[in-house]
Amino acid sequence: MSYVSRLFEDDYDGMTYKWELKEPAGFALLYWQQAGLEQLARSVAHSPRSSNSNIAFDILSSAASGEFSTMLSDHWWGDLKKRVTNAGGLSAEIQHYARRTLVELVLAAKDEDDLMLSLASVFQRHYAKMNGANAAKNLVQAVASRWFAIGDRTLQAYQELIEAFSDDEPSFQKFFEANPQLLDPMAVEVWPEPNLFGSRKPDFVVKRSDGSYLVVEIECPSKVMITKAGHPSADVTHAEHQATDYRKYMLGHIANVKDVFPGFSEPDCLVVVGLEGVLTKDQKAALASLNDARHRLKVVGFDWILDRAKKISENVAEHGVVVSVTRMN
């Protein structure tokens, strides 16, 4: 596998049509199934040339579709396809993992322009093939994930942050600033600790894709959410008051606020404190009642943020952004 990956990574002294040498090596990595897909992703990270990215996007989207489509000549492609298929390289499990790996590569791309150029090239290749439409569809879904999903590495880092720094609020402030979609999947613009005319500083103000706003106040995972008696803790009450105070202040100065936050109207509020996983059944019921009684304000745990992000990431990576319409008789 190591030797094959080197054949994929090599630039062949800048040869113009080197894809005819690189693409078979990339596809051959699927012979090793999940380990091969992981190696393909590592090869792109190790040698991030546009040719490597393009071929990897091509291979992964094809593998995700379950249809190996290629522009290689049949006389040397057929045997490779047969060997990879017999080894399990087209199994349902590998299709799923290829889809996840494709999403991770799209999310990892640092330059938006370079990514768009790569994707355009791969789309052209798919539509030049006899069976490329399904592969192109998987590529579209992966691109959608760049705006709607959060990668596995980010989710793992967030999990580790909860476990290792549960009482370090600044670390979470910094992490959410770097990954604002954790706060709201529809976030398009985020202001960390905005100075509201020298008077108030919420932890975050989030503008969503629909133009609505969210005021976020965070505490720490180590803090208590609900007391044993079933009441909101002092930390929750304090954070609630801060969030609603920010909202009241913003609405009271709405003319000035709209100069900073375009289209601003009455925002929702989100308080993130503690962990819901440690709550008893009765405490969870008390938290649900607390949220039901609040107007445009929700109190959640840091683990609730993680669970929501995982569900969204899995759904987008596996199925794409699809809306189902169901009529009820």
Both structure tokens of 199: 């008077």
Backbone conformation region of residue 302, classed left if phi is above 0, alpha if psi is from -120 to 50, else beta: alpha
CA distance 256 to 116: 38
More confident residue, 109 or 64: 64
Give pLDDT, residue 313.
73
Mean pLDDT to the nearest integer, 319-326: 46
With cut-offs at 50, 70 and 90, classify the pLDDT of residue 188. Answer: confident
**Token digits of residue 67:** 């249809």
Pair 181, 235: CB distance under 8 Å: no
For residues 187 and 181, give the distance between their C-alpha atoms in angstroms, rounded to a whole number.
Answer: 6
Rounded to an integer, what distance in angstroms lies between the CA atom of residue 231 and that of residue 273?
14
Which whole number is the average pLDDT over 167-185? 92
Read off the pLDDT band of 324 (50, 70, 90).
very low
Reduced to 3 states (helix: H, G, I; strand: E, B; else coil), residue 217 is: strand
Residue 206 — φ and ψ, nearest 5°?
-115, 130
The DSSP call for residue 190 is: E
As a whole number of angstroms, the distance between CA 265 and CA 170 comes to 28
Mean of pLDDT values over 285-307: 94
Beta-bridged to residue 196, according to DSSP, are 200
Continuous segment of H or E residues that includes residue 246: helix 234-252
Contact indicator for 183, 206 with CB cutoff of 8 Å: yes
Return the percentage of the chain with pLDDT > 90, whole number. 46
What DSSP line would sit under 95-142, residue for residue? HHHHHHHHHHHHHH---HHHHHHHHHHHHHHHHHSTT-HHHHHHHHHH
Confidence tier at 60 by pLDDT (50, 70, 90) = very high
Residue 157 CB neighbours (<10 A): 14
- The confidence band for 109, taking pLDDT boundaries of 50, 70 and 90, is confident
**What average pLDDT is seen over the chain?**
86
Answer yes or no: pTM beyond 0.75.
Answer: no
For residue 86, pLDDT over 80 is answered with yes
Contact (CB, 8 A) for 242 and 318: no
Residue 276 has pLDDT above 60, yes or no: yes
Q: What is the pLDDT of residue 319?
A: 52
pLDDT higher than threshold 50 for residue 326: no
| pLDDT surpassing 90 at residue 134 | no
